[in-house]
Amino acid sequence: MAKQLLGKEVTDALNAKLIERANALKEKGVVPTLGIVRVGENPSDLSYEKGATKRAELIGINVQKFVLPEDASKEDLLKLIDEINANDAIHGVLMFRPLPKHLKADQNEICNRLDPKKDVDCMTDLSNAGVFEGRSDLGFAPCTPAACMEILDYYGIDCKGKNAVVIGRSNIVGKPAALLLLAKNATVTICHSRTKNLKEVCAAADILVAAVGREGFVTGDMVKPGAVVIDVGINRGADGKLHGDVNFAEAAEKAAYITPVPGGVGTVTTSVLVSHVVEAAAKSV
Ligand code: NAP
């Protein structure tokens, strides 16, 4: 039976360090502050906002919320971002994406309006270039794949030379997760909906990251004995509960390590966000 990689253990360790760093900054007169930009009232945005706010309060960093109505114009949003850019008291910005449908065509332009120094969730081209080039000086990696790496680091799982397979190639999870694994010297394969022999590819993985968005997609026969399984999926099941992309019971029979859902990657994501804000604040001094 696999050992569970528990998000709480990782966040407890991260939080202790963050509280210390945030306090040191406060002594220098800088209170790390996260600006949250939300357009509309999407329930999953609201739920993430609640979790991020709670985590920020625990660490002792400030949160300022900027909420625009669902039908806000591109100009309204750009004006808000300009104001935030000019506000030295805000060190990091989380803007919920995807934006409402009428803003989708302009999403790239809107994201890139943010000062890259405040881009704590990788929405500007410069931050993305940093992930691509493996250069943390250019920006922060997106919080979810960064959370996967935090989990691997915390549990001392060395990626060097390992066969890592990522299922999913989205810009916010799959692709950056693959690049971060590559930066850790794993040999990386990215799978997607057109991948042939997906089961066989996954079954050869020493480290398997599932970011598919389909409940229970990874079955026991796709897991190599002794593998590390990182489940990024968050799916609301017919039972009303949250389920991962991995069939936990089957995968846990074969894996050496596995993240649960809930209680795995999702738990660590908000701590990573807060850590990016603290880092951005430290850089601003
Ligand atoms: P997404 O944009 O929908 O991407 C899903 C990826 O899975 C796509 O690349 C897609 O391939 C691939 N895929 C879909 N069906 C497949 C199949 N049958 N076989 C192989 N590949 C398949 O989703 P996302 O935003 O990356 O999110 C992925 C999951 O992570 C979701 O459950 C989401 O809720 C969760 N998530 C969790 C967190 C967290 O903090 N834990 C944060 C963000 C997202 P194509 O590219 O070919 O379509």
Q: What is the pLDDT of residues 17-33, one digit of tens each?
A: 999 999 999 999 999 99
Closest CA to ligand 1's atom 5: 212
Q: Residue 90: its pLDDT value, please? A: 98
**DSSP line for the chain:** -PEE--HHHHHHHHHHHHHHHHHHHHHTT---EEEEEEES--HHHHHHHHHHHHHHHHHT-EEEEEEE-TT--HHHHHHHHHHHHH-TT--EEEE-SSPPGGGGGGHHHHHHHS-GGGBTT--SHHHHHHHHHT-TTT-PPPHHHHHHHHHHHHTT---TT-EEEEE---TTTHHHHHHHHHHTT-EEEEE-TT-TTHHHHHHT-SEEEE----TT-B-GGGS-TT-EEEE---EE-TTSSEE-SB-HHHHHHH-SEE--SSSSHHHHHHHHHHHHHHHHHHHH-
Atom of ligand 1 nearest to the CA of 213: 32
Atom of ligand 1 nearest to the CA of 269: 40
**Percentage of the residues of the chain whose pLDDT score is greater than 90:** 99
Atom of ligand 1 nearest to the CA of 147: 40
Ligand 1 centroid distance, CA of 166 (Å): 10
Q: Residue 180: its pLDDT value, please? A: 98
Q: Residue 102: its pLDDT value, please? A: 98
pLDDT confidence band for 191 (50 / 70 / 90):
very high
Q: Residue 68: its pLDDT value, please? A: 98
Q: Residue 278: its pLDDT value, please? A: 98
**Percentage of the residues of the chain whose pLDDT score is greater than 70:** 100
pLDDT confidence band for 38 (50 / 70 / 90):
very high
Atom of ligand 1 nearest to the CA of 261: 41
Q: Residue 218: its pLDDT value, please? A: 98
Residue-wise pLDDT for 203-244, tens only, equals 999 999 999 999 999 999 999 999 999 999 999 999 999 999
Question: Would you say the CB of residue 265 lies under 6 angstroms from ligand 1?
Answer: yes
Q: Residue 75: its pLDDT value, please? A: 98
Residue-wise pLDDT for 267-284, tens only, equals 999 999 999 999 999 999
- Please give the Cα distance from 269 to 263 (Å, whole number): 11
Question: Would you say the CB of residue 266 lies under 6 angstroms from ligand 1?
Answer: yes
Ligand 1 centroid distance, CA of 265 (Å): 14
Ligand 1 centroid distance, CA of 147 (Å): 16
Q: Residue 78: its pLDDT value, please? A: 98
Atom of ligand 1 nearest to the CA of 169: 9
Ligand 1 centroid distance, CA of 213 (Å): 4
Q: What integer is the mean pLDDT of 76-92?
A: 98
Residue-wise pLDDT for 94-144, tens only, equals 999 999 999 999 999 999 999 999 999 999 999 999 999 999 999 999 999
Ligand 1 centroid distance, CA of 171 (Å): 10
Closest CA to ligand 1's atom 1: 170
Atom of ligand 1 nearest to the CA of 143: 40
Q: Residue 55: its pLDDT value, please? A: 95
Question: Would you say the CB of residue 97 lies under 6 angstroms from ligand 1?
Answer: no
Question: Would you say the CB of residue 92 lies under 6 angstroms from ligand 1?
Answer: no
Ligand 1 centroid distance, CA of 211 (Å): 4
Closest CA to ligand 1's atom 34: 234
Closest CA to ligand 1's atom 18: 193
